[in-house]
Structure 1
Amino acid sequence: MVNPAQARALLDAVTQVGRTRGPRMMAMFACVYYAALRPEEASGLCRQNCDLPAEGWGLITLEKARPQANKRWTNSGETHDERGLKHRAKDDTREVPIPPVLVAILREHIETYGTAKDGRLFRTSKGRPFSSSAYSAVWQEARRLAFAVEQVVSPLAARPYDLRHAAVSLWLNAGVPPTEVAQRAGHGVDVLLRVYAKCIEGQRARANGQITKALEL
């Protein structure tokens, strides 16, 4: 999984792909990394779902997703129009706090490209959703720009979805409680710990230190 520096390099590289395609997609990829959105959730994001203050953390309230028909992009390969959030009731929502860096990226994106009539943030210059083939092509070109040759041929961030894996792993390794990570990522805690168990291995010394401090209170 990419580290934060590699993720930033990839996002920067996305803006260098094509005259308009990459720049219009960068903020969407940023949502996958900084908010751990599923790509289909990022694709369906609307302005009314975003609280973007001038300073500090913001908030995304997810309502609908737009899955794409490409396994390299969606992680599922299913094709749908708008639908409810994964693992949730049809009309359920999910609140995801977003860091200032993503707030700034989204504010700049909206200022530059505006929104569709329905409030959608991410679309082509003609107002259409990006195709899965367009996502994949831009992502692979960004990897070639950002990575060394040996990294390009490796599985490192092979799919946009891998940015979500990197985000969830980062949160867990930063010490965010699994219950909070699961809520933000839209996972069950049991699924979260099963899928991401390896990323929190090697934390025994840190855990021992935390317990020691707690016992001294």
Structure 2
Amino acid sequence: MSSRPKEPHAAAPRKLPSGRWQARVTYWDRETGQRKELTRTFATEREAKKWAREEEVKLRETWLSPQTLLTLTVNNVLDQWLDAKRLKPVARSTLESYIGHLRHVRQAFGNQLVKDISPSDIQKLYASLSHTHSPRTGQYVATLLRSALDWAVTMDLIPTNPARKVSKPQVPRREMIVLTPEDATKLLRVAQQHRLYALWWFIALMGVRKGEALGLYWEDIDWNTKTVTIRRTLSGSGRRRYLSAPKTHHSTRTLAMPDILIQVLKQWKEQQQKDRIIAQTNWVETPYVFTTKRGTPWDASAVTHHFKRVLRQGDFPTHWRIHDLRHAMATHWLASGISPKVVSERLGHASVAFTLQVYAHALPHQQAEAAEYMAARLLGRSTHDPHEPT
């Protein structure tokens, strides 16, 4: 066990019989390891807490290695934090996202010493991002920076986290777009004329994520049981494409397929065989279901581009996203009375509670039915539960 003394920390103020408040800061002598305590009394609890926090910071600065504080830059902290993340089971796409978003921090003050970074510097970064990027990007950068600096505090690299004193950018709540059954029918009809029609049908009818569909292998489909197993996600574009495990543990799942989708996939398999013959030596043999004319898997960005083309051809709103097909299917499942547990399992969510939180808008009619049912029971009227057989 390490003999290194524990770091200083401010204890909760103690109320004295006199009514005053005693502030306390505990620390350990670096040489002897002996526990010590600083105290001071104040008229109010708030004053006591403020003094204790300030003294804790001062003690941490002397407790930490002076050499560390004099040489540690923000880039050093970010590099070490990312290295620590790589030791955990984090998806490659997630790490790529971390690296990409943290470039904003590195450009702003990456070469500066961490001890010199102030809440004001961080606030300026957030303000700058608000003018050049989306609110969600700003919030994500703030979350990553706060997490990295929290880790540095935990690892005794810095005494406090200046990002904790700055509010993260707020993201306006985005209203979920839900396609009506008529919209979905028309969209799929238009998509039939497009090379990626089978992909659109698969996402729309199965409610899977785009990356899960792009990462699908032919061996994942069981024609006899009419099921498909989601085992992986394909992310990125060009040379930066990579396969990873699905988003959560629950995202690895086996789903039943409707007969119409099985027909669509069999037709697509025939088309893929024709593409192989036409491409001849240019054909690249891969296990993927949804491929280009050369047999290679699709880039996520290219798929999005083609989806926008379908929207324009069908005179649909161009702000619709591929992910909205998933939302549409989930909403209609719930609105049709499908068990939330079944819907949650098909979507690959971590829990039923999360599904209900995201799709609460799909259940208003059930709320009304439940209210009427309870009122009728309390008033003694003859009625039946709308969900019980008559």
Matches within 5 A, 1:36-185: 36-53=207-224, 58-68=226-236, 81-88=242-249, 93-114=252-273, 117-147=285-315, 151-152=316-317, 155=319, 158-185=320-347
Instruction: Mark the runs of 5 or more structure 1 residues left unpaired by the alignment.
Output: 17-21, 70-78
Asked if 1 retains the 8 angstrom alpha-carbon contact of 2:241 and 2:299, the reply is: no
Deviation of the 1:104 alpha carbon: 1.1
Asked if 2 retains the 8 angstrom alpha-carbon contact of 1:39 and 1:67, the reply is: no
What letter matches 1:106 in structure 2?
L
Deviation of the 1:206 alpha carbon: 4.7
With over 3 angstroms needed to count, the CA separation of the structure-2 counterparts of 1:152 and 1:175, relative to structure 1, is same
With over 3 angstroms needed to count, the CA separation of the structure-2 counterparts of 1:210 and 1:81, relative to structure 1, is farther
Whole-angstrom distance in 1 between the partners of 2:327 and 2:212 = 15
Deviation of the 1:67 alpha carbon: 2.2
Tell me the residue number matched to 2:355. Answer: 192
What letter matches 1:6 in structure 2?
D
Aligned-partner SS, 2:243: coil
With over 3 angstroms needed to count, the CA separation of the structure-2 counterparts of 1:212 and 1:110, relative to structure 1, is closer
Asked if 1 retains the 8 angstrom alpha-carbon contact of 2:232 and 2:243, the reply is: yes
Asked if 1 retains the 8 angstrom alpha-carbon contact of 2:285 and 2:296, the reply is: no
Deviation of the 1:133 alpha carbon: 3.2
Instruction: Mark the runs of 5 or more structure 2 residues left unpaired by the alignment.
Output: 1-177, 277-283, 374-382
Identity of aligned residues (%): 26
> Number of residues paired by the alignment?
190
Whole-angstrom distance in 1 between the partners of 2:182 and 2:198 = 17
Deviation per CA, 1:11-63, whole angstroms, max 9, x where unpaired?
Answer: 232343xxxxx32x11112111101111000001111111235xxx8211111
Whole-angstrom distance in 2 between the partners of 1:44 and 1:84 = 10
Higher radius of gyration, 1 or 2: 2
With over 3 angstroms needed to count, the CA separation of the structure-2 counterparts of 1:124 and 1:96, relative to structure 1, is same
Whole-angstrom distance in 1 between the partners of 2:362 and 2:204 = 16
What letter matches 1:165 in structure 2?
H
Deviation per CA, 1:131-156, whole angstroms, max 9, x where unpaired?
Answer: 23321221112112223xxx525x4x
Which of 197, 215, 227 in structure 2 is aligned with 1:26? 197
* TM-score computed with the length of structure 2 as normaliser: 0.45
Higher relative contact order (CA 8 A, sep 6+): 1
Could you say which structure has the higher strand fraction? 2
Whole-angstrom distance in 2 between the partners of 1:182 and 1:81 = 26
Deviation of the 1:202 alpha carbon: 2.4
Deviation of the 1:122 alpha carbon: 0.8
Asked if 2 retains the 8 angstrom alpha-carbon contact of 1:14 and 1:138, the reply is: no
* TM-score computed with the length of structure 1 as normaliser: 0.77
